[in-house]
Structure 1
Amino acid sequence: MAFLKHPFFKPFKNIFILILVAFGIWMLFFDANSLLIHHELNSEINDLEDEKEYYKKEIEKDNKALKELSTDEGLEKFAREEYYMKRDNEEIFIIEYEDSLKTKK
């Protein structure tokens, strides 16, 4: 117990200081509202905000695509590109390059 006579430990002989230190340690590490839990929740909030921004951009992109498809020209362009549709008096040639083909690796 000789180490307790060191001047550093003098404030810890007071019961109020000991209770305050114990309360501080409890609140930082063990409580339901601890600092560690707050850090996890803040990182989750940041991830959700990033996801929210991603979905907002996707909604804007989809609204733009819907606006293009609402016109006759846009609908015809989509049908020609995605479903290779054509008019009766037309012929369509599909040219695929080797670097654009999906190959199994």
Structure 2
Amino acid sequence: MPKSKTKYLKPFKNLFVIILIVFAVWMLFFDANSWLIHHELNTDIEDLENEKDYYKKEIKKDKKEIKELSTNDGIEKLAREKYYMKKDNEDIYIIEYQDSIPKKKEDE
């Protein structure tokens, strides 16, 4: 063998170096606490924290809506806007603009 190849292979003839390399490969890829599993778990944690922040915002929004609906004016506003309810002596007119009307498919 040429000397240049043996120069680079000499450290791999040492038993401790071989054991260290095998240990490092095992810990990075095959162990239950491997780097790959930790990376995947950290990604899952980040996704769950983002989801947690989203639900906290939704809870704040819902609490605000509940507070608004706890008054008689809030209930009346909801009934008029969403369910089109009216008082006995009123007439309701719903005005729809051209761009708010859904278009029919031409095939039908």
TM-score using structure 2 length: 0.88
What residue identity is the alignment partner of 1:61?
K
1:34 aligns with 2:34: yes
Cα distance in structure 2, aligned partners of 1:37 and 1:53? 24
Q: What 5-or-longer segments of structure 2 have no aligned partner?
A: none
CA deviations 1:11-47 (Å, max 9, x no partner) are 2111011101100000001111111111111111111
Aligned positions, number: 104
Cα distance in structure 1, aligned partners of 2:73 and 2:83? 15
Q: What 5-or-longer segments of structure 1 have no aligned partner?
A: none
Q: Percent identity?
A: 65
Instruction: For residue 3 of structure 1, report the CA deviation from its aligned partner.
Output: 6.9
What residue identity is the alignment partner of 2:65?
A
Cα distance in structure 2, aligned partners of 1:18 and 1:61? 60
Q: 1:12 to 1:3 in 2, by over 3 A?
A: farther
Name 1:83's counterpart in structure 2. 83
TM-score using structure 1 length: 0.90
What residue identity is the alignment partner of 1:99?
D
What residue identity is the alignment partner of 1:56?
K
Q: Matches of residues 1-105 of structure 1 in structure 2 within 5 Å?
A: 2=1, 5-103=5-103
Instruction: For residue 102 of structure 1, report the CA deviation from its aligned partner.
Output: 3.4
Cα distance in structure 1, aligned partners of 2:104 and 2:34? 50
RMSD (Å), alpha carbons: 1.7
Between stretches 6-15 and 18-27, larger displacement belongs to 6-15
Cα distance in structure 2, aligned partners of 1:27 and 1:8? 25
